[in-house]
Amino acid sequence: MLDSPSDDGLEILRAKLDSIDMRFLEELRARIDTCVEIAHYKRENDVGMMQPHRIRIVQERAARFGDEHGISQDFLRRLYDLIIEETCRVEDVVIGAAP
């Protein structure tokens, strides 16, 4: 009878992945928190919420990162589209809120 492979190695790798996911989510939360700070600044200084040039800079930086690290640029573009969509929603709420 063949010995079944130990799940210990897989569990260690999954624990490592879980740790990375938690750090990723914490950084995402920190990014959104910073966008809230930016929204307050925009509201207080009468700066428009939508900044297309800034979105382009973020997207281009993500594309370069993908190119340098072998990650699909299309994937990163779609990921940032979602992140930017959420941060715009949050900024919209903050900017539209009464001071």
Residue with tokens 């930017």: 84
Per-residue pLDDT averaged across 50-65, rounded? 91
Q: Sorting pLDDT into bands at 50, 70 and 90, what band is 66?
A: very high
Over residues 67-87, the pLDDT tens digits come to 999 999 999 999 999 999 999
Helix or strand run (H / E) with residue 57: helix 52-69
Average pLDDT, the chain: 90
**36 close to 90: Cβ distance less than 8 angstroms:** yes
Residues near 48 by beta carbon (within 8 Å), at least 6 away in sequence: 42
pLDDT of residue 1: 41
pLDDT above 70 covers what percent of the chain?
A: 92
Confidence at residue 7, expressed as pLDDT on a 0 to 100 scale: 77
DSSP, res 72: -
Contact 75, 62 (CB under 8 A): no
